[in-house]
Amino acid sequence: MKKLLCFCVLFLLSINVPNAHSAEYSIEMLNKREDGQKMVYSQDIINIDVNDTVKWTPTSKGHNVEFITVPGSMDIPKKSKTSKEYSYTFDQPGVYLYQCTPHKSMGMIALVIVGKDTTNINEISASKVVGMSKKKLAKLIESIDS
């Protein structure tokens, strides 16, 4: 009976092992970053593993997260509420492009790279972004390719 109990406990522990290694990352939505850039996220590119969570926190009112491009046909909420904290756990590898809806023309865009998978980078390059985001997206993609 003890062997059966030990087996059951070990089995249950092994099921939770992948979740034990997932991490949570924080990104702030900023009016101004330490490097002087305005209307930005605290990180332009973040590299995470599959099943990691990113939490976006507005440091002032008026910012949100709106996903423009996601790998494959994933069912991901397209847009968070303005001025509200938002979290998402990424369970599919690839590059995710997101922006702040009110400040997208000012270049407030960023990327999440999940599982070091950049196979959808051409789709990201072809994404419809506006204003200053066009130039910034080109720079972000260039920094990934380097």
The per-residue pLDDT for range 95-134, each reduced to its tens digit, is: 999 999 999 999 999 999 999 999 999 999 999 999 999 9
CB 46 within 8 A of CB 27: yes
The per-residue pLDDT for range 66-97, each reduced to its tens digit, is: 999 877 766 777 899 999 999 999 999 999 99
Q: In what side-by-side order are the strands of the sheet with 66-69?
A: 45-48, 109-114, 94-99, 66-69
For the record, the structure tokens of 78 come out as 């397209």
What structural domains and CATH numbers belong to the chain?
A: 22-145 (2.60.40.420)
